[in-house]
Amino acid sequence: MKVDASKVVRIFNEMADFLSIKGENPFRVRAYQKAADALEHLSGDLEALYHQGKLQNIAGIGKGMLEKIETILEIGKLPAYEELKKEVPESLRELLFIPEMGPKTVKVLYEKGNVKNIEDLEKFVQSHKLRNLPGMGAKTEENILRGINLYRSSKGRILLGKALPLAKRVITELKSSVSPDIERISPAGSLRRGKETIGDIDILVSSSNSSPIMDAFTYLSFVEEVLAKGKTKSSILTYDGLQIDLRVVSPDSFGAALQYFTGSKSHNINLRERAIRKGLKINEYGVFTQKGEKLAGRNEEDVHASLSLPLIPPELREDRGEIEAGEKGEIPELLKEEGIKGDLHIHTKASDGANSIEELIGRAKQKGYEYIAITDHSTSLKIAGGLSEDRLLQQINHEEGINSRLKGFKVFAGSEVDIRKDGSLDYPDEVLKKLDIVIAAVHTSLKQDKKTMTDRVIKALCNPFVRIFAHPTGRLLGEREAYSIDLDKVLQVAQEKNIWIEINAQPQRLDLADLWIKEAKKRSIKLVINTDAHHLSNLDFMPFGVITARRGWLEKEDVVNALSLSEFLTSLSL
């Protein structure tokens, strides 16, 4: 059987965790992590690359790792991994996912406190036994308990940024293996609605011959386990622990099924009530009259039309007034991916990015952009290679030079300026005024109380040179909660001062979140969708930001970087 890269990635990541809990040499641990990282970003099929002898050229895969990959490809498993799994309890790994819990702590708690899993950890902390260990106090207890809650609430949900590429892969692979039997195929569920995290992936197929499709689905190379296999529905589990549900329906009810399985549940309930009020019945097979006459079912558009509604975009189907808007003919013309003309938050190797300005321009042009802003970190963010004033001035000069050679494309001189603890900015005004785009952002002292944080941010936004407030809540999905901040007040100031609020397109951030985006729009605040790229490939995060903007009901007019270069230049001088 074919071995998918995701299987090797999982084995290597687990090896790294097990070894680190055992307290093994950090270099060895790192070797596994690096190889897993490299394999995760592999372009091409693992086995094919291996047979072409191309794996050894990939950075991160050394000789030792190559041999291990070889073993897995040959016998389907790695003996060293099987051994480790017997030695270290599997549940200990899970403890590493709790913020504040490093491998050393896990090891100590296991050996000294017999803490084997999350439940043990919770009891251990609640009974204040943790305090007896060196370096641990009341603060650590609090942080760990908060971490446990965060972990539990996100457990089993994965990022849109991970689910979407996987779903696309499933669709491509199914199409290539059983295309004659597939009439139509589409994602459904929360994935189609573009939610920031996904519980399971739902895919819907229209076909009159389901069995070859179900066969192909359950034999996809990344299937770890087949949970169910039937004529109309099958479910699988992938190597990265993700469930995918595939439903096959007949072509004449595809539209109704797509509406039903896209949800959300509360959108469906509202829609059904509307149908009842009109004396109709709606289910996953179609829309019917009392007498059982079928009015619609083949296309989603017809399903909505039979209820006197325009097609409601999936991203709006969260029961947030979309049906009422449809009724009044007020469904917005949502922003499209092609509408984006630039990216205004990008790091280069001058700070903690990986690429040069020139490389980034190349990629941006390929995307059809007309401008980008280079926004490296400011001085005091030392860990992120923040630029001193001198280096920033040099960078501005360099950018001027580049611009003099460019036609129809512009690089804006920018900076992601740290908002210091007291709300002051990390460069003096004389420096800020030399920049085209000043982004203000919080990176440190994230645990300040709500009032202190809010005042701090507002003070920064009142600086006349600040244009953008980036990743406004600092959340990292599944990893770190938003810092406490009064967004209502911050938006009020943004509105007064014409500050653009960022929708950060990094899959872990998607910050500002959909509900607040909608609120910002209501107050006529402009938003800007940025990738915050630290690597060329991160420029590809843009679609996740666009989906999130659509979930916030945004149209082209609401988004600053949907302006053409000349329009954008005008808006800059306003």
Which of ligand DGT, Ca ion, none sits in contact with 175, Cβ below 5 to 8 A by type? none
> Which position's Cβ is nearest ligand DGT?
263
Compute the least distance from the CB of residue 280 to ligand DGT, in Å. 16
Query: What gap in Å lies between CA 162 and CA 172, rounded to an integer?
Result: 16
Stretch that binds ligand DGT, among 12-20, 189-197, 349-357, 479-487 (CB under 6 A): 189-197
Half-sphere exposure (Cβ direction) of 106: Cα atoms closer than 13 Å: 26
Q: Which is nearer to ligand DGT, 268 or 473 (CB)?
A: 268
Compute the least distance from the CB of residue 198 to ligand DGT, in Å. 5
Q: Which is nearer to ligand DGT, 198 or 364 (CB)?
A: 198
Residue position matching structure tokens 């990390």: 426
Compute the least distance from the CB of residue 204 to ligand DGT, in Å. 10
- At CA 96, angle to CA 90 and CA 101, rounded to 5? 135
For Ca ion, the binding residues in 218-257 under the rule CB under 5 A are 245
Tokens of 192: 């189609």
Which of Ca ion, ligand DGT, none sits in contact with 217, Cβ below 5 to 8 A by type? none
Chain-centroid distance, C-alpha 44 = 22
Residue position matching structure tokens 């006349």: 464
> Which position's Cβ is nearest Ca ion?
189
Q: Which is nearer to ligand DGT, 200 or 486 (CB)?
A: 200
Query: What gap in Å lies between CA 238 and CA 222, rounded to an integer?
Result: 6
DSSP characters over 118-170: HHHHHHHHHTT-GGGSTT--HHHHHHHHHHHHHHHHHTT-EEHHHHHHHHHHH
Q: Which is nearer to Ca ion, 147 or 314 (CB)?
A: 314
Q: What is the contact mask toward ligand DGT in residues 247 to 286, using x (rule: CB under 6 A)?
A: -------------xx-xxx--xx-----------------
Stretch that binds Ca ion, among 11-19, 187-195, 440-448, 516-524 (CB under 5 A): 187-195
Compute the least distance from the CB of residue 251 to Ca ion, in Å. 22
Which of ligand DGT, Ca ion, none sits in contact with 268, Cβ below 5 to 8 A by type? ligand DGT
Compute the least distance from the CB of residue 261 to Ca ion, in Å. 8
CB 186 within 8 A of CB 193: no
Compute the least distance from the CB of residue 220 to Ca ion, in Å. 17
Q: Which is nearer to ligand DGT, 177 or 270 (CB)?
A: 270
Residue 530, beta-bridge partner list: 504
For Ca ion, the binding residues in 193-212 under the rule CB under 5 A are 200, 202
Compute the least distance from the CB of residue 383 to ligand DGT, in Å. 35
| Interface pick for ligand DGT out of 187, 189, 286, 472 (rule CB under 6 A) | 189
Q: What is the contact mask toward ligand DGT in residues 429 to 468, using x (rule: CB under 6 A)?
A: ----------------------------------------
* Cis peptide bond prior to 425, omega within 30° of 0: no
By DSSP bridging, strand 468-469 and strand 500-504 are parallel
Stretch that binds ligand DGT, among 96-104, 164-172, 192-200, 357-365 (CB under 6 A): 192-200
Local structure of residue 345 (DSSP, 8 states) = E
Strand order of the β-sheet with 500-504 is: 342-346, 371-377, 410-418, 437-441, 468-469, 500-504, 527-530
Q: Which is nearer to Ca ion, 190 or 415 (CB)?
A: 190
| Interface pick for Ca ion out of 189, 386, 414, 507 (rule CB under 5 A) | 189
User: What kind and span of H or E run contains 10?
Assistant: helix 5-22
190 binds ligand DGT (CB under 6 A): yes
Which of ligand DGT, Ca ion, none sits in contact with 20, Cβ below 5 to 8 A by type? none
Stretch that binds Ca ion, among 159-167, 192-200, 211-219, 288-296 (CB under 5 A): 192-200
Tokens of 440: 């203000």
Tokens of 254: 């595809």
228 conformational bin, left if phi > 0, alpha if psi -120 to 50, beta if neither: beta
| Interface pick for ligand DGT out of 60, 199, 310, 313 (rule CB under 6 A) | 199
Q: Is 356 exposed, middle or buried (0-12, 13-18, 19+ CB in 10 A)?
A: middle
Give the count of residues interacting with ligand DGT (CB under 6 A): 14
Q: Is 231 exposed, middle or buried (0-12, 13-18, 19+ CB in 10 A)?
A: exposed
CB 297 within 8 A of CB 303: yes
Tokens of 253: 């009810």
Question: In this structure, what is the dihedral angle of CA atoms 481, 377, 548, 485, given to the nearest 10 degrees?
Answer: 40
| Interface pick for ligand DGT out of 196, 202, 426, 436 (rule CB under 6 A) | 202
Q: Is 228 exposed, middle or buried (0-12, 13-18, 19+ CB in 10 A)?
A: exposed
Which of ligand DGT, Ca ion, none sits in contact with 431, Cβ below 5 to 8 A by type? none
Query: What gap in Å lies between CA 438 and CA 373, rounded to an integer?
Result: 10
Tokens of 518: 């909608």
CB 485 within 8 A of CB 473: yes
Q: Which is nearer to ligand DGT, 262 or 463 (CB)?
A: 262
In sequence order, the 6+-apart residues with CB closer than 8 A to the CB of 281 are 275, 287, 288, 289, 290
Compute the least distance from the CB of residue 263 to ligand DGT, in Å. 2
Which of Ca ion, ligand DGT, none sits in contact with 263, Cβ below 5 to 8 A by type? ligand DGT
Compute the least distance from the CB of residue 317 to ligand DGT, in Å. 8
Give the count of residues interacting with Ca ion (CB under 5 A): 5
Which spans of this chain sit near ligand DGT (rule: CB under 6 A)?
A: 189-190, 195, 198-200, 202, 260-261, 263-265, 268-269
Which spans of this chain sit near Ca ion (rule: CB under 5 A)?
A: 189-190, 200, 202, 245
